[in-house]
Amino acid sequence: MTSSDRPASILGRVLVLAGGLCGVFGVALSAAAAHRGGPFTATAASFLLMHAPLFVAIGLLGGNRLLRGGSLALLVGLVVFSGDLLARDFLSFRLFPFAAPTGGTLLMAGWLCIAASALPRPRRNS
């Protein structure tokens, strides 16, 4: 891998890594849901798979602070939301009270940040 093949920043690397892990766990959990059942497992798998390409894209392309911050909110929200659903199916308990709604709220906030990152910013006078 040459330097031009790598994401430019530590955050870029973290996001590409997160995207790859979301992809692999999404596929594995899809198979687990199909063979074992578990509505929460299937939902967690879907969320992981739908967010994986986003993390890879932002990690490779970069973007402004709002876009990167939104992607971090998405990542934390995804871990909390999916983690709570998986704990319910596999361990029969919740991560903490209101974990899934907290993770879902972070996911929505992250998507709003990503949307806001596309809005024009006022120019600063130098």
- Kindly report the average pLDDT of the chain as a whole number: 90
Burial 25-60 (b: 16+ CB within 10 A, else e): bbeebbebbeeeebebbbbbbebbbebbebbbebbb
Name the residue ranges covered by the structural domains of the chain.
10-116
Separation CA 63–CA 121 (nearest Å): 14
Separation CA 95–CA 20 (nearest Å): 24
**3 pLDDT above the threshold of 60:** no
Separation CA 86–CA 121 (nearest Å): 40
pLDDT in tens, 58-67: 999 888 889 9
pTM of the full structure? 0.84
